Structure 1
């Protein structure tokens, strides 16, 4: 795999950026955040998945209807004005958005109206250059774009009905039915493709801006896709489904740190035998698509590529599942043949067995370590402690799935854990300063990558937590206040970064 230089970075999902439109986006606020990261001498920005989100999945980026399409809610209205797809007057009057957290419902309503205007303007007044750029985008993405657009348009047309309940003509469309569908919904399909073009255009512009500032974008691939998705609808043969298109078995994990009953995710499992027969083409296209957008990729729940937790679809908890092996060596051989040095990091947290560790070692794939997990009863032999750290990994204070450092210290850490932490750093730990103590441990560790969630840089409590695994509602709402990105904070982070040789 790609060699990792010693570096540091910050974790912040795009929706959490400040903006005037209820949700962070790919525009001016993103570029201002890049400027802050450059001033702080950071080299990585981890942004989590950018796939489409909606209310059915409570706007979770890990609950999407497409593994390839982009989240059009992240399109910047201000950049649409700059590119003349909108006019200044189109942005007024602004609704009263919630400024303290991501206001998904209001953002959806407002941006949909802007997208209608932008599409009409594109149809009527766009330049030859924009039309040619749109044609190039369609040609370059024809492997997934048609299915994604058709799926989205049909979902809207059928009031959100799962595709497994669609009329037979749409559920398993013949080539003739697809031609008729394209004719019947021609303008709506064109609009969906146009919005994906805008998303792709703005993301590529942001990546160029990052690279000009010495920063790399760190993306994320959720291993599984939803049963009700364009991917399962368009490629039912590569998933374990019954005749009606419903999952036979579903995804999850056994009991772990996050849940005593495990987590029942409910995604359809891959038909690895069929994937193997195709040379894993869907997966290789997915990896290649993301490598065109990001400089580094985290594969969420990597252990599912080695062996996956298989739960019968009718079960209501993940406890009674079983591990089932996947052809990981054959898959990774094909992956490395297509992409010789892929910049991939494996999310290898939770229940990790010897076969997963051996796979990561054999293919030199960096894994993850989390400082919050380092001070349990196996101290001082815990593999997440700096002195026991594998240098070939990414080390985090916490992740989007954990509490903040301050929230952990106040509400979750047992007295013994606090005592071990205090012994390890060699001075008294307080709630007010504990986040900087853990940031320092991560920075000074031998791990090549050191990453800190933005909430930990700010020393925020549990109310700023991004996600609570197992809690279906109320996640992914935290929002960054622009006023907190101060020169003082940038200087402090820069000093620590350079002190530990991560510049």
Structure 2
């Protein structure tokens, strides 16, 4: 069935308090999607973020981002007062998230809400804690301990708690008992609010596409509490870390720094941690995009402590075996394989053997020097096509920065129509929707015709990422109608 959707991370929603949340604006966006004939909302990872503000470097692969908890909902429940929220400094720019101000203001307010919440009937909260016990206690302890050590990375903690001696775990569990409950409360509110919003979307026929990074952060509850899952030494430090080799875009490669998996251990356990991780994702989302899918075929290993990725090497991943186990345990789940970048024949075969749709990016198609697999006439139906992803520039910004010969190539491919800067985004949107791909996803910035200032992320850079916010009055009825018409024109209303 042909269908389409829109990519917009929660952080980019407008809201009253500095960052997108599960607020009334999120519900309004669902209404907009319905009126625009869209069947999918891609939201990107939900993880709790740290340094760099990237959801791909999260403190937990299970916990939700505290910033997404809607303060107005807490006001309506009597846990916060409007004047308390209005007095906080969340920044003054409606187009950008000011993370430092969000960090210092939001947690103070969440603590006030928690202090009032403690006097309530806690039945639902206790039920939630019991249901999520497998990850919630470790995560909440990790965050409370991190806060105790002035938010330092795990390498700067006291040795006994970093390596989780039983005596240290008991000591900090007692010392930080209230703080641990505070972080559990935040997760309770996160999942309660998200479940309500997701149900609202599903009731309108809209499915949620989430995102799961292949790796977890070294400074995370997952790595701290489950050292056996990773290539760690006896002191709990990585032996090697993840990245990718030098190429034409990065002369010294990319050093991501994530710990690598001990795949032999995972295989011995029947990939139980991965099965639990994927199953959890499908509690949050209807479809899951698995990032860096090539890493399951083979992964790039860089010695821990290296300054760059030059001296890394490729090692064998679990291959099809892990997905066979996932299918046996969970059935036919809806997964999108992020198969971008340089692919080997083996990694292509892995995607094909799994049967998952891969990804196509229109922005990757127009290199006048060579024929590209990303040109729409080369697609098969079993793929998801994007004008660009969160890691790309907007269409307007990308086109403006294309070499003249590549612009000419694009204009020729579009039959000469891509000449008006005011409509350039729509020309490529139409090309995307017209393709044979079963699913087409368009970033909201492209529907709004925005330039490079609305870009979400520039890979391998620090600062200025994940800050773009959609302005309050951006989603107007005439835009919904225009999107609906073009969606219908290319047979993507999903009603056949």
Please, what TM-score do these two structures have when normalized by structure 2?
0.96
Tell me the equivalent position of 2:355.
364
Do the aligned partners of residues 315 and 94 (structure 1) sit closer, same or farther apart at CA in structure 2, a change above 3 Å counting?
closer
Further displaced range: 322-331 or 202-211: 322-331
Q: Does 1:120 align with 2:115?
A: yes
Tell me the equivalent position of 1:444.
434
Q: Does 1:220 align with 2:211?
A: yes
Distance 1:21 1:237 in 2: 41
Tell me the equivalent position of 2:418.
429
Q: Of residues 33, 45, 49 in structure 2, which corresponds to 1:53?
A: 49
Secondary structure at the aligned position of 1:144 is classed as: helix
Tell me the equivalent position of 1:111.
106
Distance 1:260 1:40 in 2: 43
Tell me the equivalent position of 1:463.
453
Do the aligned partners of residues 469 and 185 (structure 1) sit closer, same or farther apart at CA in structure 2, a change above 3 Å counting?
same
Tell me the equivalent position of 1:77.
71
Distance 1:376 1:390 in 2: 20
Q: Of residues 375, 396, 400 in structure 2, which corresponds to 1:410?
A: 400
Distance 1:377 1:257 in 2: 17
Tell me the equivalent position of 1:490.
480
Distance 1:259 1:13 in 2: 27
Q: Of residues 14, 19, 31 in structure 2, which corresponds to 1:18?
A: 14
Tell me the equivalent position of 1:180.
171
Further displaced range: 291-300 or 305-314: 305-314
Residues 8 and 42, structure 1, Cα contact 8 Å, conserved in 2: yes
Distance 1:63 1:257 in 2: 25
Matches within 5 A, 1:147-296: 147-256=138-247, 258-296=249-287
Distance 1:27 1:240 in 2: 40
Where do 5+ consecutive residues of structure 1 fail to align? Answer: none
User: Runs ≥4 in structure 1, deviation > 6 angstroms?
Assistant: none
Residues 250 and 313, structure 1, Cα contact 8 Å, conserved in 2: yes
Matched residue count: 491
Residues 242 and 248, structure 1, Cα contact 8 Å, conserved in 2: yes
Distance 1:433 1:259 in 2: 33
Q: Of residues 24, 28, 32 in structure 2, which corresponds to 1:32?
A: 28
Distance 1:42 1:377 in 2: 33
Tell me the equivalent position of 1:44.
40
Deviation of 1:71 after TM superposition, in Å, equals 0.3
Do the aligned partners of residues 256 and 346 (structure 1) sit closer, same or farther apart at CA in structure 2, a change above 3 Å counting?
farther
Deviation of 1:485 after TM superposition, in Å, equals 1.2
Tell me the equivalent position of 1:395.
385
Where do 5+ consecutive residues of structure 2 fail to align? Answer: none
Deviation of 1:461 after TM superposition, in Å, equals 1.1
Secondary structure at the aligned position of 2:41 is classed as: strand
Deviation string for 1:365-413 (max 9, x for gaps)? 111000001111465x4221111112101100001111111111111x1
Deviation of 1:448 after TM superposition, in Å, equals 0.7
Deviation of 1:133 after TM superposition, in Å, equals 1.4
Distance 1:176 1:94 in 2: 40
Distance 2:247 2:281 in 1: 30
Please, what TM-score do these two structures have when normalized by structure 1?
0.94
Deviation of 1:94 after TM superposition, in Å, equals 4.5
Deviation of 1:101 after TM superposition, in Å, equals 0.4
Deviation of 1:474 after TM superposition, in Å, equals 1.7
Deviation of 1:260 after TM superposition, in Å, equals 4.0
Deviation of 1:255 after TM superposition, in Å, equals 3.6
Residues 417 and 427, structure 2, Cα contact 8 Å, conserved in 1: no
Distance 1:175 1:400 in 2: 42
Deviation of 1:30 after TM superposition, in Å, equals 0.6
Secondary structure at the aligned position of 1:484 is classed as: coil
Q: Of residues 309, 312, 315 in structure 2, which corresponds to 1:321?
A: 312
Residues 164 and 244, structure 1, Cα contact 8 Å, conserved in 2: no
Deviation of 1:100 after TM superposition, in Å, equals 2.3
Residues 275 and 326, structure 2, Cα contact 8 Å, conserved in 1: yes
Deviation string for 1:192-218 (max 9, x for gaps)? 101111001111111011112211111
Secondary structure at the aligned position of 2:301 is classed as: strand
Distance 1:246 1:258 in 2: 30
